């Protein structure tokens, strides 16, 4: 067991070092003000990311969104503090907009989805945990340390099977909110499923503020779409055959795809009252809403399969 765990840890560390170099490269080449780059803590090597598997599979179904407010060594959620209460209410608002948006997207493809996001009225969808780490340290995210802590908390404190039965849910997404401020150097990301993952739980680590901006509903939806298998369209990805030339195509023809940008196309800024980005044919294809896509055929886009 120890040997396996050791090997697993080494593998994770190596993979994350690769990702760090990749993100350092991206960071140097992308203007921060563009606000379209979101690191994902996703694994960039091997056939092991963005699968529609784990706790979230088919978006056409009922998805339960479990909200976890997480304290760390530097930040905390204080429900007796008016400012924090207001922030939590905003998170509820943005999460609701994201869920409603995803329902509409699925309906556009003649399928049906239900996102249960209301933690204000459903107390069993809201949790409060404490993590003995600095969650705003990107290395802590990249090393997988935060995953281990969150998975442990989820398995001990959240009766997922019971919730799935109660809400008749097919999928579960865990949103873990960190009360970061403008000094936060880390970036919102999603621990989406990969082959061999020690837990089924797919977790969005949502910083209330990153890139010096409060995250908007489009970021919530973008991250949730990762758990259903949508890859980012702003970086090359061998597994999905997102090549540099396909990225050029996306920038020219699908420039408002939510997996490319979360900013409003007209103003270039985040919007907090609505999501104006689109789930294009390409992203719909990647999450299985479309079985056939001319663009996917033309560009030979691939969806990795796992055994
Ligand atoms: Zn992303």
Residue 57 has pLDDT above 90, yes or no: no
Q: Give me ligand 1 centre to Cα 166, in Å.
A: 30
8 A C-beta contact, residue 235 and residue 260? no
Taking all residues of the chain, what is their mean pLDDT, rounded to a whole number?
87
Length in residues, the chain = 307
Q: Give me ligand 1 centre to Cα 260, in Å.
A: 8
Q: What DSSP state is assigned to residue 169?
A: -
Q: Give me ligand 1 centre to Cα 19, in Å.
A: 13
Q: Give me ligand 1 centre to Cα 108, in Å.
A: 22
Q: Give me ligand 1 centre to Cα 50, in Å.
A: 10
Q: What DSSP state is assigned to residue 257?
A: B
8 A C-beta contact, residue 158 and residue 66? yes
Rounded CA-CA distance 188/177 in Å is 9
Q: Give me ligand 1 centre to Cα 235, in Å.
A: 9
8 A C-beta contact, residue 28 and residue 212? no
Residue 20 has pLDDT above 80, yes or no: no
Q: What is the pLDDT of residues 218-262, one digit of tens each?
A: 999 999 999 999 999 999 999 899 999 999 999 999 999 999 999
Tell me what pLDDT residue 18 has.
57
Q: Give me ligand 1 centre to Cα 72, in Å.
A: 23
Q: Give me ligand 1 centre to Cα 226, in Å.
A: 7
Q: Give me ligand 1 centre to Cα 247, in Å.
A: 14
Rounded CA-CA distance 249/219 in Å is 23
Tell me what pLDDT residue 46 has.
33
Q: Give me ligand 1 centre to Cα 232, in Å.
A: 5
Q: Give me ligand 1 centre to Cα 85, in Å.
A: 28
* CA distances (Å), origin 245, targets 23, 108, 250: 20, 28, 9
Q: Give me ligand 1 centre to Cα 126, in Å.
A: 24
Q: What is the pLDDT of residues 153-165, one digit of tens each?
A: 999 999 999 999 9
* CA distances (Å), origin 110, targets 33, 113, 259: 36, 10, 21
Q: What is the pLDDT of residues 22-56, one digit of tens each?
A: 554 444 333 332 333 334 433 333 333 566 777 88
Q: Give me ligand 1 centre to Cα 259, in Å.
A: 6
| Residue whose C-alpha is closest to residue 11's, from 159, 197, 250, 253 | 197
8 A C-beta contact, residue 142 and residue 15? no
Q: Give me ligand 1 centre to Cα 204, in Å.
A: 10
Q: Give me ligand 1 centre to Cα 37, in Å.
A: 8
Q: Which residue has the tokens 């977790």?
A: 203
Tell me what pLDDT residue 43 has.
36
Q: pTM for this structure?
A: 0.84
Q: 263-269: long-range contacts at Cβ-Cβ below 8 A with a sequence spacing of 24 or more?
A: 263/34, 263/35, 263/36, 263/218
Residue 174 has pLDDT above 80, yes or no: yes
8 A C-beta contact, residue 285 and residue 257? no
Q: Give me ligand 1 centre to Cα 287, in Å.
A: 14
Q: Give me ligand 1 centre to Cα 8, in Å.
A: 24
Q: Give me ligand 1 centre to Cα 303, in Å.
A: 16
Tell me what pLDDT residue 19 has.
56
Q: Give me ligand 1 centre to Cα 39, in Å.
A: 6
The proportion of the chain whose per-residue pLDDT surpasses 70, expressed as a percent, equals: 83
Q: What is the pLDDT of residues 96-154, one digit of tens each?
A: 999 999 999 999 999 999 999 999 999 999 999 999 999 999 999 999 999 999 999 99
Rounded CA-CA distance 78/142 in Å is 27
| Residue whose C-alpha is closest to residue 175's, from 91, 57, 259 | 91
Q: Give me ligand 1 centre to Cα 3, in Å.
A: 33
What does the pLDDT average to over 190-219? 93
């Amino acid at each position: 067991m120890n040997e396996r765990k050791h090997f697993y840890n080494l593998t994770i560390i190596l993979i994350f070092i690769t990702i760090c170099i990749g993100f350092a490269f991206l960071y140097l080449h992308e203007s921060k003000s563009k606000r379209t780059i979101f690191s994902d803590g996703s694994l960039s090597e091997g056939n092991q990311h963005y699968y529609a598997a784990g706790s979230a599979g088919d978006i056409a179904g009922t998805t339960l969104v479990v909200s976890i407010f997480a304290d760390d060594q530097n930040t905390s959620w204080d429900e007796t503090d008016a400012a924090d209460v207001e922030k939590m209410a905003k998170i509820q608002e943005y999460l609701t907009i994201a869920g409603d948006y995803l329902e509409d997207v699925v309906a556009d493809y003649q399928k049906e989805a239900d996102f249960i996001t209301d933690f204000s009225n459903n107390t069993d969808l809201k949790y409060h945990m404490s993590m003995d780490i600095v969650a705003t340290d990107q290395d802590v995210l990249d090393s997988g340390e935060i995953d281990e802590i969150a998975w442990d908390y989820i398995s001990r404190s959240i009766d997922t099977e019971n919730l799935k039965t109660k809400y008749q849910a097919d999928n579960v997404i865990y949103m873990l909110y960190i009360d970061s401020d403008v000094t936060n150097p880390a970036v919102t990301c999603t621990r989406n499923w990969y082959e061999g993952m020690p837990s089924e739980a797919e977790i969005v680590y949502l910083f209330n503020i990153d890139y010096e901006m409060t995250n908007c509903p489009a970021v919530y939806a973008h991250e949730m779409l990762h758990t259903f298998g949508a890859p980012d369209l702003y970086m090359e990805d061998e597994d999905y055959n997102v090549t540099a030339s396909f990225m050029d195509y996306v920038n020219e023809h699908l420039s408002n795809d939510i997996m490319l940008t979360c900013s409003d196309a007209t103003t270039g800024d985040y919007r907090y009252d609505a999501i104006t980005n689109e789930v294009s044919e390409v992203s719909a294809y990647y999450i299985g809403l479309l079985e056939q896509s001319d663009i996917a055929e033309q560009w030979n886009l691939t969806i990795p399969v796992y055994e």
